[in-house]
Amino acid sequence: MKRVGIIGTGIMGADHARLLTTSVSGAIVAGVHDLDPVRAAEVAMHSGGARVFGNPYELIVDDDIDAVLVASSDDTHEEYVQACITAGKPVLCEKPLAPTVEACTRILDAEDRAGSRLVSVGFMRRFDPGYAQLRRMLRLGEIGAPLILHCVHRNPAAVPGLPGASVITNSAVHELDITRWLFAEEITEVSVHAPRATSHGGGTPDPQILLLRTASGAIADVEVFVNARYGYDVRAELVGELGTVTLDGPPPTVLRRSGMDGRALPADWRPRFAEAYRLELQDWVDGAANTATAWDGFAATFVAAACVRALETGTPQQVTLPPVPKLYR
Ligand SMILES: NC(=O)c1ccc[n+]([C@@H]2O[C@H](COP(=O)([O-])OP(=O)(O)OC[C@H]3O[C@@H](n4cnc5c(N)ncnc54)[C@H](O)[C@@H]3O)[C@@H](O)[C@H]2O)c1
Ligand SMILES: O[C@H]1[C@H](O)[C@@H](O)[C@H](O)[C@@H](O)[C@H]1O
């Protein structure tokens, strides 16, 4: 039985705790920590009486904790991931690995010194049955050589006044990862275009259109719109030389009534990606190593940084990743 400690018990930490407790085999939530002790206590209570730690570093080194899940806010990931590497414990860190290239580089260096892959990154879309099917069809040659990936990523609402950079490092980062993962090659050039901003974002440059060119010359276009109001909506369409494959959002149930034909949209990512989170956690608990690595986390943040420069300067940016370190080849 893997005894998991969770740092950060907000929306995602609480959801991961619930899944680990109810839907993942071979694991228990043994410890929790949050800056807010009330949140930590509540999640502990629903996780079969996990221990509440007042100090996150004591949780990480505790002999009764085998592995750590980091679900605190983005800018706190690095310090906890570093402490896990030092303690020699596997850590599943929510995306992004860290919001800056410098922080991700320090994590890669620490893993290199440790000499083993301890870090997984929560790019859960890799486990979503819909995205997995898209990738399988591509590999089977169903649509021939891929040319274009169209992506839509809409959230109903975000923190008012969120900086444009955060829309990229926190939200569009999923598409940066999924583009690398689907095409199995790196993104080499990016440009970002911002139309007139929505009046519902408190000044956030939102929506944004990202154009990503991959090493073989394919293009992904990403509409990221974090104040779209109407619901949580993530979609994709892959266009190949022989056909297309479309990933529409579940659920499959359609309500036809009063002259309308419609499906209910989820309010956020938890229902939409419930199965992806469960499969990701199971994979991590099993040590199956299909989760995104620290290198994947670094690469996504590296491309995100180029997108932020493109947004701020209005000019396309070349992306040249450093060579893949030996640990990840
Ligand atoms: N994979 C996904 O689809 C997905 C979805 C949502 C969020 N996330 C990521 O998960 C993380 C958490 O997001 P959330 O939506 O749960 O946010 P949240 O604000 O609901 O929860 C964050 C929690 O972290 C705590 N916290 C903040 N700083 C801390 C620190 N230094 N030490 C310990 N606890 C600290 C807060 O008190 C809060 O309870 C973020 O990194 C976010 O990007 C991933
Ligand atoms: O942190 C969340 C999470 O990563 C969701 O999956 C994404 O859709 C949101 O845009 C982001 O804010």
Distance 77 CA to ligand 1 centre (A): 9
- Is the ipTM here above 0.85? yes
Look at residues 91, 124, 157 and tell me which one is the last residue of a structural domain: 124
Distance 170 CA to ligand 1 centre (A): 11
Angle at 250 between CA 259 and CA 292, to 5 degrees: 160
Position 289 in a domain: no
Verify that 322 and 232 share a domain, yes or no. Answer: yes
Verify that 115 and 141 share a domain, yes or no. Answer: no
Q: How far apart are CA 314 and CA 209, in angstroms?
A: 12
Upper half-sphere CA count for residue 265 (Cβ side, 13 Å): 16
Verify that 100 and 186 share a domain, yes or no. Answer: no
Position 282 in a domain: no
Verify that 7 and 106 share a domain, yes or no. Answer: yes
> Cis omega (within 30 of 0) on the bond before 207?
yes
Position 70 in a domain: yes
Verify that 173 and 304 share a domain, yes or no. Answer: yes
Considering every ligand atom shown, identify the ligand nearest to the alpha carbon of residue 274 and give its number.
1
pLDDT in tens, the chain (329 residues): 999 999 999 999 999 999 999 999 999 999 999 999 999 999 999 999 899 999 999 999 999 999 999 999 999 999 999 999 999 999 999 999 999 999 999 999 999 999 999 999 999 999 999 999 999 999 999 999 999 999 999 999 999 999 999 999 999 999 999 999 999 999 999 999 999 999 999 999 999 999 999 999 999 999 999 999 999 999 999 999 999 999 997 777 899 999 999 989 999 999 999 999 999 999 999 999 999 999 999 999 999 999 999 999 999 999 999 999 999 99
Domain range holding 64?
A: 2-124
Considering every ligand atom shown, identify the ligand nearest to the alpha carbon of residue 6 and give its number.
1
Look at residues 97, 124, 151 and tell me which one is the last residue of a structural domain: 124
Q: What is the pTM of this model?
A: 0.97
Verify that 174 and 117 share a domain, yes or no. Answer: no
Verify that 120 and 130 share a domain, yes or no. Answer: no
Distance 34 CA to ligand 1 centre (A): 10
Position 229 in a domain: yes
Verify that 174 and 29 share a domain, yes or no. Answer: no
User: How many structural domains comprise the chain?
Assistant: 2
CATH number at residue 26: 3.40.50.720
Position 281 in a domain: no
Verify that 317 and 181 share a domain, yes or no. Answer: yes
Q: How far apart are CA 138 and CA 129, in angstroms?
A: 14
Verify that 108 and 141 share a domain, yes or no. Answer: no
Q: How far apart are CA 64 and CA 60, in angstroms?
A: 9
Verify that 135 and 248 share a domain, yes or no. Answer: yes
Verify that 16 and 82 share a domain, yes or no. Answer: yes
Report the amino acid identity of residue 284.
W
Look at residues 124, 156, 175 and tell me which one is the last residue of a structural domain: 124
CATH number at residue 146: 3.30.360.10
Pocket lining for ligand 2, CB < 6 angstroms: 95, 155, 170-171, 174, 226, 269
Position 145 in a domain: yes
